Structure 1
Amino acid sequence: MLVDFNTLSEEAKVWIYPSNRKFYPQEIEGLKEKLKAFVEVWKQDDDDFKASVELRYNRFIIFSGEGNSALLNADIDKLVGFVLQLQEVYEVELLDRMNVCFKQGEYTQYKELKDFKKLIKNKAVTEKTIVFDNLVETKLELENHWEVPISESWYSRFLKKSKTNS
């Protein structure tokens, strides 16, 4: 059942799919309709399952869900299959989790990890640069640890390498 994100508990599971580009204004309404339509039928046979979907910064698709019954592999397969369809329709990359999303001023940037390492080495980003940790797993983690300075994220290991290589 599709519910408002704010009604889910802190333990609700989240899945974050960052797009390699912002969705264009003319794509947003249709994308949101597709996302909601998917969530409405995702686990429609499970009356206890509540799910939500959000589009943040016109770049991140965030699914969340909870219920007493466990999500089965088939449920995750449906989600990934849907995301693969979105990639084709919108000609975006959503499944590559080894790319880095970070804030530069008011803009959200998306870089391949090797390019991000170069930005660190060249000091174009600092330990205070806000990165998005798309590996968070719960609503609580999303709310508290999704947007963090590099120094508080797993990307901090590249800061250390950069300092030792200087």
Structure 2
Amino acid sequence: MFVDFKEIPEDAKVWVYPSSRKFYPNEIEAIEEKVKTFVENWKSDDENFKASYQFLYNRFIILTADDVATELSNSDIDASVSLIIGLQETYEVALLDRMNVCFKQGEHVQYKDLKDFKKLLKNKALTGKTIIFDNLITTKQDFENFWEIPIEESWYNRFIK
């Protein structure tokens, strides 16, 4: 059942899907509709199941599901991945590539492969204070507290020389 993101418990499962590009304004409404429809129908046979999503910075799709009250099966997770694969194909973006890094430069969110990210750090184009998105977080609590943090406070700090 779709619920407001605020109603999802702190220990709920979270998946962050960063897009390789910012979505265009004419794409956003359709993407949100597809994601919301999926969440509304995800495990619809289980009245205890609660799930939600957020669409942030016109670039990130955040899915969350309360997997404590109702356990997620592999097929439930596969269904969510199928949604994301479908969005990748429709909008010609990468959403599942975990070897890329997202960070803020001013008001903009940048998306770089890890090799280019390391070069930016080496060349001092980024500092430890640069805000990075840790897209590998797994719970709502981590999402709320550790998704947007300075590089020096993240696991990416190992790349700072």
Residue 144 in structure 1 maps to residue 142 in structure 2: no
Q: Deviations over 1:37-73 (max 9, x none)?
A: 0111111121111000110000000000104221111
Identity of aligned residues (%): 64
Q: Which runs of 4+ in 1 moved over 3 A?
A: none
Secondary structure of 2:38's partner?
A: helix
Unaligned runs of 5+ residues in structure 2 are none
State the AA in 1 paired with 2:147. Answer: W
- 5 Å matches for 1:28-67? 28-67=28-67
Partners of 1:155 and 1:6 lie apart in 2 by 28
- Hey, what does 2:6 align to over in structure 1? 6
Q: Deviations over 1:78-133 (max 9, x none)?
A: 11111000000011000001100000001000000000000001000000000000
Residue 155 in structure 1 maps to residue 156 in structure 2: yes
Q: Deviations over 1:8-36 (max 9, x none)?
A: 11111110000000110000111110010
State the AA in 1 paired with 2:157. Answer: S
Partners of 1:46 and 1:114 lie apart in 2 by 44
- Hey, what does 2:70 align to over in structure 1? 69
Q: TM-score, normalised by structure 2?
A: 0.97
Partners of 1:133 and 1:59 lie apart in 2 by 14
Give the aligned length. 160
Give the RMSD, CA atoms, in angstroms: 0.8
Partners of 2:65 and 2:78 lie apart in 1 by 15
